[in-house]
Amino acid sequence: MTTTVPTQVDRVRAVAAVRELLTAVGEDADRLGLLRTPERVADLFLDLFSGLGVDPASALGAPVALTENEHPGELVGLTAIPFRSVCEHHLLPFEGTVDVYYAPVRHIAGLSRIATLVELAGRRPQLQERLGQQIADALMTVLQPHGVAVRIEATHGCISHLEPGAASARAVTVATVGTIPDATWRFASPGS
């Protein structure tokens, strides 16, 4: 598991940056309605980016070892995990659901830990494709299963804003690592 150092945050600098942005786009940052906006926006982004510098795999904790007589089945899954993140290209939100499947060998994870992994991995600016891969890699590293599959379906604020006619479009990505049993994966996949 990779050890990372939590990112140092500078709230004062973040507040000043939001104030500067407002001024740069021609707004009066001192007008009554905007007086506390720099603090509100800075605090929002500090929360949205609170996963920076934190290894997502840390959310899984210690894996649960299986005995020789235990076998949880060919596939373990947790579906429809809600998430939200921020697109690194436009700093607009994207949100949806994540389905996580893994084929255990000798270790399993608590199901709530998988949901926590999804939440922690989402708390940083990034792309949907990377989010799925980060989740899959974390599970592979900690649990060492035969394989992991992560399916994400999300709506994106940048699509809604830039292409209003496609506002209800949902982006779907699938990240896989290792091997998932074919018959089992087809059973678990949406629309099968």
Nearest to 106 by CA among 77, 146, 61, 150: 146
Provide the pLDDT for residue 185. 57
Q: What is the pLDDT of residues 8-20, one digit of tens each?
A: 889 999 999 999 9
User: Which is catalytic among the residues 126, 128, 133, 134?
Assistant: 128
User: Which is catalytic among the residues 70, 89, 129, 163?
Assistant: 89
153 assigned to active site: no
126 assigned to active site: no
Average pLDDT over residues 170-184: 87
Backbone angles phi, psi at 185, to 5 degrees: -65, -40
71 assigned to active site: no
Provide the pLDDT for residue 32. 95
* Range 85-124 burial, b when 16+ CB lie within 10 A, else e: bbbeeeeebbebebbbbbbbeebbbeeebbbbbbbbbbbb
Q: Residue 110 has what DSSP assignment?
A: -
Helix (H, G, I), strand (E, B) or coil at 109: coil
Structure tokens at 137: 């890699």
- Cross-strand partners of 176: 149
Cα of 88 vs its chain's centroid, Å? 12
Q: Are 38 and 18 in contact (CB under 8 A)?
A: yes
Q: What is the pLDDT of residues 49-63, one digit of tens each?
A: 999 999 999 999 999
| Residue 192 reports pLDDT greater than 60 | no
Q: How confident is the model at residue 189 (pLDDT cuts 50, 70, 90)?
A: low
Provide the pLDDT for residue 72. 72
Q: Are 162 and 88 in contact (CB under 8 A)?
A: no
Nearest to 123 by CA among 144, 97, 94: 94
107 assigned to active site: no
Q: What is the pLDDT of residues 82-91, one digit of tens each?
A: 999 999 999 9
88 assigned to active site: yes
User: Which is catalytic among the residues 27, 39, 90, 146?
Assistant: 90
> What structural domains and CATH numbers belong to the chain?
11-48 (1.10.286.10), 59-188 (3.30.1130.10)
User: Which is catalytic among the residues 87, 119, 126, 134?
Assistant: 87
Q: What is the pLDDT of residues 62-115, one digit of tens each?
A: 999 988 888 777 899 999 999 999 999 999 999 999 999 999 999 999 999 999
CA–CA gap between residue 92 and residue 90 (Å, rounded)? 5
| Residue 5 reports pLDDT greater than 60 | no
User: Which is catalytic among the residues 70, 88, 129, 163?
Assistant: 88
Q: What is the pTM of this model?
A: 0.87
